[in-house]
A and B are shown apart, each in its own frame.
Chain A
Amino acid sequence: MSRAGKNTLYRILLIGPALLAITIFMIVPLGLMAYISFRGRDYSGGVVWDQFTAEAYVRLFFERELDGTLALNFNYMAIILRSVWLSFLTMVISLAVGLPVAMFMATRDRKWKAVLVFMVTLPFWTNLLVRNYAWILLLRDHGTINSALLWLGIISEPLPLLHNAFAVAVGLTYSFLPFMVLPIYASLEKIDLKLVEASFDLYANRWQTIKRIILPLAYPGIVAGCVLVFVPALGAYITPELLGGGKTLMIGNLIGFQFGAARNWPFGAALGLFLLMLVLTSLWLYARRYRGEMERSP
Chain B
Amino acid sequence: MRLNPFRSRAFPGDARHWPGLFTATAAFFAYVYLPILILIALSFNENRTVTIWTGFSLDWYRMAFSNRDIVSATTNSLIIASVASVSATTLATLAALRMASNDRFLGKTGINAVFALPITVPEIVPAVATLMFFASLGFTFGLGTVIIGHIVFCIPFAYLPIRARLEGMDPKIGEAAADLYANPVQAFWRVTLPQLVPGILSGLVLAFIISLDDFVTTFFLGGAGSTTLPIYIFGLVRTGVTPEVNAISSLMLLLSLSLVSLSLFLGRDQNRKTGPD
**Assuming the A-B contacts A123-B32, A126-B257, are A18 and B92 also in contact, with contact meaning beta carbons closer than 8 angstroms in the complex?**
yes
Which of A147, A234, A256 is the most central at the interface, judged by chain B CB atoms within 10 Å of its CB?
A256
**Which of A22, A47, A120, A197 interacts with B13 by CB under 8 Å?**
A197
- Any chain B CB within 8 A of the CB of A294? no
> Is the C-beta of A1 less than 8 angstroms from some C-beta in chain B?
no
Interchain CA distance A18-B33 in the complex, whole Å: 36
Dominant SS at the B interface?
helix
B97: chain A residues within 8 A (beta carbon): 14
A26–B152 contact, CB under 8 A? Answer: yes
A273 to chain B: closest residue by CB: B125
B98 to chain A, nearest CB (A): 4
Tell me whether B28 and A29 are in contact (CB under 8 A): no
Interface string of B103-134 (1 = CB under 8 A from A): 00100000100110110111111101111110
**Would A103 and B21 count as touching, CB distance under 8 A?**
yes
Q: Which of B22, B111, B264 contacts A118 (CB 8 A)?
A: B264
Partner of B15, one of A19, A107, A129, A236: A107
Across-interface contacts of B220 in A (CB, < 8 A): 256, 259
> Do A199 and B152 touch (CB < 8 A)?
no
B1 within 8 A of A: no
Q: Is the CB of A133 within 8 A of B159?
A: no
**Judging by beta carbons under 8 Å apart, are A130 and B249 in contact?**
yes
Most buried by A among B6, B22, B25, B215: B25
Interface size class of chain A, counting residues whose CB lies under 8 Å from the partner chain = 35 or more
What are the residues of chain A within 8 A of B92 when measuring CB–CB?
A: 18
Q: Mark interface residues in A82-108 (1 if CB within 8 Å of B CB, else 0).
A: 000000000000000110110111011
Size range of the chain B interface in the assembly: 35 or more
Q: Tell me, yes or no, whether A11 is within 8 Å of chain B by CB.
A: yes
Query: Contact string, A32-43, partner B, CB cutoff 8 A, digits 1/0?
Result: 110010000000
Q: Is residue A79 contacting chain B, with contact meaning CB distance below 8 A?
A: no
Q: How far is the CB of A221 from chain B (nearest CB, A)?
A: 16
Q: In the assembly, what is the distance between CA of A273 and CA of B198, in Å?
A: 39
> B9 to nearest A CB, angstroms?
15
Q: Which of chain B's residues 225-261 have a Cβ closer than 8 Å to chain A?
A: 230, 233-234, 237, 241, 245-246, 249, 252-253, 256-257, 259-260
Q: Which of B20, B117, B206, B219 contacts A22 (CB 8 A)?
A: B117
- B83 adjacent to chain A (CB < 8 Å): no
Q: B130–A177 contact, CB under 8 A?
A: no
* Bound: A130/B35 CA distance, A: 10
Per-residue CB proximity of A236-269 to B under 8 Å, as 1/0?
A: 1110001000000000100110110000010011
Q: How far is the CB of B99 from chain A (nearest CB, A)?
A: 7
Closest residue of A by beta carbon distance from B32: A123
**In the assembled complex, A60 has its CB within 8 A of some CB on chain B:** no
A231 CB within 8 Å of chain B: yes
Considering residues A47, A120, A134, A252, which has the most beta carbons from chain B within 10 angstroms of its beta carbon? A134
Sample 19 A-B pairs with CB under 8 A, ordered by A number: A15-B94, A18-B159, A100-B24, A101-B25, A104-B25, A107-B16, A108-B6, A116-B25, A126-B253, A127-B256, A128-B215, A131-B35, A137-B50, A137-B241, A147-B51, A236-B122, A238-B216, A258-B128, A269-B132
Q: List the 8 shortest-distance A-B pairs measured between CB atoms, nearest first.
A: A235-B122, A200-B13, A100-B24, A29-B133, A29-B129, A18-B91, A134-B35, A125-B260
Known: A17-B91, A126-B253. 12 other contacts (CB 8 A): A29-B132, A30-B126, A32-B129, A101-B24, A103-B18, A126-B36, A130-B249, A133-B237, A134-B35, A137-B42, A137-B51, A199-B13
Which residues of B are interface residues toward A (Cβ below 8 A)? 6, 11-16, 18, 20-22, 24-25, 28-29, 31-33, 35-36, 38-39, 42, 49-52, 91-92, 94-95, 97-99, 105, 111, 114-115, 117-118, 120-126, 128-133, 135-136, 148-149, 151-152, 155, 159, 206, 209, 213, 215-216, 219-220, 230, 233-234, 237, 241, 245-246, 249, 252-253, 256-257, 259-260, 264, 277
